């Protein structure tokens, strides 16, 4: 999901992002692979997410 939004960070500066993913948890049986992961991709940042095929 791609969103464009903004918020004010702890330094008082406004941050703009294109994508925001919050508190993702992924489990494989009893093994926790990702525990409450948050990802913010800024409006002027470059981001690539690689899957199993690379």
Task: In whole angstroms, give the CA distance from residue 22 to residue 53.
Answer: 25
CB 31 within 8 A of CB 25: no
CB 27 within 8 A of CB 35: no
The pLDDT, as a whole number, for residue 27 is: 95
The pLDDT, as a whole number, for residue 28 is: 94
Q: So where are the chain's domains?
A: 5-42
How confident is the prediction along the chain (54 residues), in pLDDT tens digits per residue? 444 556 665 666 666 767 778 899 999 999 999 999 988 887 777 888 788 876
What DSSP assignment string belongs to the chain?
Answer: ----EEEE-TTS-EEEEEEEEEEEEEEETTEEEEEEEEEEEETT-------TT-
The pLDDT, as a whole number, for residue 2 is: 45
């Amino acid at each position: 999901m791609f969103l464009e939004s903004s918020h004010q960070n702890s330094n008082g500066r406004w941050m703009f992002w294109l994508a925001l993913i919050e508190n993702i948890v992924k489990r494989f049986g009893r093994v926790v692979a990702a525990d409450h992961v948050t990802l913010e991709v800024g409006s002027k940042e470059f981001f690539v997410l690689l899957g199993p095929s690379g």
